Amino acid sequence: MNTLLEESHRHLGELLTAVERCIYFLEGARSRITWPVTGDELAARNKDIDLFTNLSAVNERFAKLQDTLGTAMRHAALLAGEPSENFLRVLGFFEKNRVLKSVKDWQSMRALRNLAAHEYGTNYAKTADHFNAVNSSTPTLYQMAAHFFRFCSDNLDITASSPDFSKEVEIILRASFDR
């Protein structure tokens, strides 16, 4: 294997480790919140630093997971010999390979992720709806990651470069299929 190809394989392994890390910390943030949240609860606890810090962490980590997974998917598609300059083609490739159930699922989560960047002010009902949507979409994102890990292992013979998060993430991903 030439040096450039070895470097590309190593880079994907590092991206897979980064995806595992995102999953681990997203699940940690989600576990600190009693779901579902309500607008009334958020209004009543509007000065609860721990609650709003944890909600913010869920938002940030959900977005980071999708961004990192997308970067890894693009890189894996390139290694698989697929055109990767158009991300819609990358998504189509992974839909055909059963990493994604549908491109629309990814796009829906992307729209949800983009909403995370907006401030909701004191419209606590809208804020609660947003966080509940992020929470209920997370298992689907985890399942995409699980299928992607399998694709990389089976088709590219590439796994996470570090086992630091692998055991815990395997448990999290297995549980996502039971939800």
In this predicted structure, the answer to whether residue 119 has a pLDDT above a threshold of 60 is no
The whole-number pLDDT of residue 13 equals: 98
Whole-prediction pTM value? Answer: 0.94
Question: Which SS3 state, helix, strand or coil, does residue 179 take?
Answer: coil
Average pLDDT, stretch 75-104?
96
In this predicted structure, the answer to whether residue 118 has a pLDDT above a threshold of 80 is no
Rounded Cα distance, 169 and 160, in Å? 11
Average pLDDT, stretch 113-141?
87
Q: How confident is the model at residue 51 (pLDDT cuts 50, 70, 90)?
A: very high
The whole-number pLDDT of residue 121 equals: 72
The whole-number pLDDT of residue 122 equals: 79
Residue 44 vs residues 22, 28, 93: alpha-carbon distances, Å: 30, 24, 46
Chain position carrying tokens 């990192």: 68
Asked whether 77 and 92 are in contact (CB, 8 A), the reply is: no
Q: How confident is the model at residue 178 (pLDDT cuts 50, 70, 90)?
A: confident
The whole-number pLDDT of residue 139 equals: 97
Average pLDDT, stretch 18-31?
98
In this predicted structure, the answer to whether residue 117 has a pLDDT above a threshold of 80 is no
The whole-number pLDDT of residue 104 equals: 97
Q: How confident is the model at residue 114 (pLDDT cuts 50, 70, 90)?
A: confident
Q: Which of 17, 38, 29, 23 is nearest to 59 (CA)?
A: 29
Average pLDDT, stretch 117-121?
63
Residue 19 amino acid letter: V
Q: How confident is the model at residue 120 (pLDDT cuts 50, 70, 90)?
A: low
